[in-house]
Structure 1
Amino acid sequence: MLSQKETIKRTLKMSLQVIQNYDWLLDLYVLDYFVDQHWEKLPLTWREAFYNMDPQILGNIIDGNFSNTVLPLSFLALMKTVQCLTITRQSLDKCAKKKLREISVDTCGGHPRLANLFLKHVKLKKRHEISLMAEVVYHTASQTNCNGVLDFGSGLGHLVRVLGYKYNLYAAGIESQTQLTEEARKLDLELEYTASKHLSIESMDNLKRPTHYNMTLSCHSQLLEMQLPDSMNKYGLVGLHPCGDLGPLLLKHFIKCESSKFICLVGCCFMKLTSEGYPMSEYVKGLDSGLSYPSREIACHAIEVYCDRLKKGDYEDLKIHAFRAALERILVGINPALKHAPVRSIKHSDSLTFERYCSLAFERLQLPLPSCEAVWARARDDLSQWRRVVIVYTLRLALAPLVETVILLDRMLYVLEQGLSCEIQPVFDPKISPRNHIMIARRT
């Protein structure tokens, strides 16, 4: 039976081979659909199968609900391969099964009148993430006999407030924007004011108040130079969706610093990774492991929500992708230098016509609308194919979880190569938080 490391290596090697075989699909930009003739890039058997397919049917197929539709064997094999290699994204809800803590009523987390204390100013998506992340961090801190936590990219401090006031951990938030840090301190005081109406003086005196630091992290040595209080001589690292190379930087600090006892990390913004952030493991560095910007960018999209919309037949607003692709052909026809011109987001509505869309786009580009009828006739012909634009985008998105798997397993293998333990758990609901895996590594 293969060891954990060997299983990961095998999965990484096969995943990268699949990605390399289908890089022609992953690297397609939807706005170039007509300019670069994306439909013609599909294998002939795929074109025949998907030519008149309703995207609703494809949504079910991508979601694993195969219909009676006859599909190419190459496509079926690809979908099965992706399914077998990809880290599961189905939330395991492990936190809910853990033994509940005994919490005193005279605490921020135990008083019935303070049940909503940590919800104020927090959006629903963030509430979901923070509640589950805090539970994982608390249990990991308990397992490693560690009572200090550093949260990087802490923003308004919502997570460190929960970790400090509710879970009684010494929590510090690291944030690069001074304005956010100042606002976090104000929210701390606001929370304490509310809590003081219901808790005893003794309980208020014993609160673990979070601290907030301003720092733009760019290298490992900055963390070593941080002046932390004695109460945090042992600490865990927390990163809830740190952008780009910040996640890998935290992993490297965890590996190199003995005072860091654990790390709980949720990835984000893979397209902003540089060679410093991927690949990390020595094994993957020795493979042909390149991941293009388009493939890393699409790996950050919400495939579950997208497939649900397709399955419900709720994809009319995706026509905006065909609008942008048809507009791109018009712009490149006027001047090749206008390729990928920044039109900025134009909000879709049921009443938005292509002509109105183009009028807004040309206005933003400060260009006159074309007057040639042939240009508009070709655009109308392009738009008649809008469902095939959706089909190609959907096929591309079906590969996205495999790219994310490679990035996550590379990080996990990097930790294992150092002789430390590491696991990846799909904790968040992927329909609420698409980057839903928490990487948990411990130093025993």
Structure 2
Amino acid sequence: MALPKAFQNPKDFFDECIAFLKEYQYLYKFPNTDILVQNVLEKIEVDNLENVDVFDKNFKLPAFDILEDLFSKLERLKAIHNVFEEINGLENSVQVPVSPKKRHEIVYLAKEVKGVCEENECDVVVDFGSGLGYLDQIIFETSHLKVLGLECNSSHYVGAKKRQSKYHANSTENVKYIKHTINDNSDSQIGEYLKDKFLNFNGFCIAGLHACDDLTVVALDLFLKMEKAKAMVIMPCCYHKMEQEEGIFKNFPLSNCLKEVFEKENGFQFMGVPFLRLGAQPPCLVEDNLEDSVFNLLARGVLQLYANKHNCKLKRNKRKAVKTKSMDRNFETYIQDACTGFSLSHNSEPSFLKDKVDSPEAGNLSIDLDEIRSIWRENSSSMVQKKAAIFILLQNCLQPVIENFILYDRIVYLKEKGLKNCQFKRIVNERISPRCLALLAYK
């Protein structure tokens, strides 16, 4: 990302940003599912809230005097980025079945890769996490660059080969796929793959779409190590999935500059997984569906409060445990769906589960629906909903600052390693693809 205009150097920015984040840690320290367990909404104290309609389309934060200090600090910490420029007709180059979001992402990332390769005399692209090969094929078709796709998932690797045979048979000599798990020591293997597949080449560009968890950081180190790696265009995501060792993230903070401030302020105590998750959460237009967001937040919070009360853990039985889009904020429908979407785990059967009769809809899940309904009534008043709405809006305002904090740490890291030409750039439309930022680096 970038250093906000109010600051002259990284240390001053990190100092002030950590002080701000420490002061307002109640907005992100805990998982949103624990919002009722941790009494987070008690921290939302604003005057005259009962007379304000926070769900009105014209309502904007800051609307309360007590929040002025928060927003004045936020304004200082905001970074200014480039405006995305859309090109008419660019997406028409994709002639195979693919979602509109994926089409948008691959054509604009391919466009950026092409430009970077031209500027840095790269004739090969190495795609980190190539998936089904969508990006690789569009890079070749629009730039005629050779592409090496590296993918650790066997089904994706096989799928990419099948798609190539079906849709892109003319690319087999120039787009190659290898099943490989990228790690800190992949530099020699990548070098061998390139020699084997493409013989002679001038230099290569590392590319990556949705480089999850630690992959972006691994890519940075490999880029620095490999002599023929001349450029990089990679889009990071899922910061909260980065590897941890005894509760400490292996690759956050990354720069020595931030590490010094972080350790001094015991940042690990309040910048954990929920913090990084909020940074990875795409900025969204919550005003358009704020009531739905509040319902989902509180309904899930009620389930968590129930489980916590009985010393149990909720476990999702499927990726989307509750299908909230079709229930029109009906809590009765929500809990019936939750009975099949979640299961309770516990070390020994608590007394509250004894003598409960499982309903056919509940499967193996035994819960007291009457008690859950009672908890909902206690935590869904008009005032609670308004506070939950303000909490969501405040998180949405914090998200860009948190993401900039995380990503600027990586820029400082690269500069500490002697790399001068590096920046984050918005390369896609965030309304189509919320993960819109790419790290560009050149040697």
TM-score by length of 2: 0.80
Which amino acid counterpart does residue 423 of structure 1 have in structure 2?
Q
TM-superposition CA deviations, 1:397-439 (whole Å, max 9, x none): 3212111111110111111122221112122212222221111
Evaluate the alpha carbon distance shift between residue 187 and residue 442 of structure 1 in structure 2; reply closer, same or farther with a 3 A threshold. same
Which residue of the partner structure matches residue 187 of structure 2? 223
Contact 1:89-1:430 within 8 A present in 2 as well: no
Shift of 1:353: 3.3
Q: Indicate whether 1:71 and 2:65 are aligned.
A: yes
Q: Indicate whether 1:286 and 2:260 are aligned.
A: yes
Evaluate the alpha carbon distance shift between residue 163 and residue 341 of structure 1 in structure 2; reply closer, same or farther with a 3 A threshold. closer
Which residue of the partner structure matches residue 72 of structure 2? 80
Q: Indicate whether 1:238 and 2:230 are aligned.
A: no
Which residue of the partner structure matches residue 13 of structure 2? 11
Evaluate the alpha carbon distance shift between residue 339 and residue 386 of structure 1 in structure 2; reply closer, same or farther with a 3 A threshold. farther
Distance 1:276 1:371 in 2: 42
Pick which of 404-413 and 3-12 moved more: 3-12
Distance 1:81 1:3 in 2: 12
Shift of 1:28: 3.3
Contact 1:119-1:127 within 8 A present in 2 as well: no
Which residue of the partner structure matches residue 276 of structure 1? 250
TM-superposition CA deviations, 1:34-77 (whole Å, max 9, x none): 332222223xxx33354554333598535xxx6xx4432xx223
Evaluate the alpha carbon distance shift between residue 180 and residue 70 of structure 1 in structure 2; reply closer, same or farther with a 3 A threshold. closer
Which residue of the partner structure matches residue 406 of structure 2? 407
Which amino acid counterpart does residue 254 of structure 2 have in structure 1?
M
Matching of residues 320-359 of structure 1 within 5 Å: 320-333=296-309, 335-336=310-311, 338-342=312-316, 345-348=321-324, 349-350=326-327, 353-359=330-336
Which amino acid counterpart does residue 402 of structure 1 have in structure 2?
V
Q: Secondary structure at the match of 2:46?
A: helix
Relative contact order (C-alpha < 8 Å, sep 6+): which is higher?
1
CA RMSD of aligned residues (A): 3.1
Gap regions ≥5 residues in structure 2: 244-248, 344-363
Equivalent residue in structure 2 for 1:210, among 175, 182, 195: 175
Contact 2:4-2:80 within 8 A present in 1 as well: no
Shift of 1:156: 0.8
Q: Indicate whether 1:189 and 2:165 are aligned.
A: yes
Which amino acid counterpart does residue 437 of structure 2 have in structure 1?
H
Pick which of 7-16 and 171-180 moved more: 7-16
Q: Indicate whether 1:417 and 2:416 are aligned.
A: yes
Q: Secondary structure at the match of 2:98?
A: coil
Evaluate the alpha carbon distance shift between residue 187 and residue 52 of structure 1 in structure 2; reply closer, same or farther with a 3 A threshold. farther
Distance 2:209 2:96 in 1: 19
Which residue of the partner structure matches residue 246 of structure 2? none
Matching of residues 257-406 of structure 1 within 5 Å: 257-274=226-243, 275-288=249-262, 289-290=267-268, 291-310=271-290, 315-316=291-292, 318-333=294-309, 335-336=310-311, 338-342=312-316, 345-348=321-324, 349-350=326-327, 353-362=330-339, 364-365=342-343, 366-370=364-368, 376-384=373-381, 385-406=384-405
Contact 2:279-2:406 within 8 A present in 1 as well: no
Distance 2:253 2:279 in 1: 16
Which residue of the partner structure matches residue 196 of structure 1? none
Contact 2:127-2:206 within 8 A present in 1 as well: yes
Which amino acid counterpart does residue 260 of structure 2 have in structure 1?
G
TM-score by length of 1: 0.80
Distance 1:260 1:49 in 2: 59
Q: Secondary structure at the match of 1:165?
A: helix
Shift of 1:141: 0.8
Pick which of 281-290 and 173-182 moved more: 281-290
Pick which of 342-351 and 403-412 moved more: 342-351
Which amino acid counterpart does residue 406 of structure 2 have in structure 1?
I
Gap regions ≥5 residues in structure 1: 101-108, 110-114, 194-203
Shift of 1:356: 3.6
Shift of 1:145: 1.1
Contact 1:170-1:231 within 8 A present in 2 as well: no
Contact 1:302-1:431 within 8 A present in 2 as well: no
Equivalent residue in structure 1 for 2:124, among 148, 156, 164: 148
Contact 1:181-1:213 within 8 A present in 2 as well: yes
Q: Secondary structure at the match of 1:236?
A: strand
Which amino acid counterpart does residue 368 of structure 1 have in structure 2?
S
Contact 1:168-1:208 within 8 A present in 2 as well: no
Q: Secondary structure at the match of 2:237?
A: coil
Q: Secondary structure at the match of 2:125?
A: strand
Evaluate the alpha carbon distance shift between residue 29 and residue 343 of structure 1 in structure 2; reply closer, same or farther with a 3 A threshold. farther
Shift of 1:270: 0.5
Distance 1:207 1:371 in 2: 58
Pick which of 128-137 and 385-394 moved more: 385-394
Which residue of the partner structure matches residue 201 of structure 1? none
Distance 2:302 2:84 in 1: 42
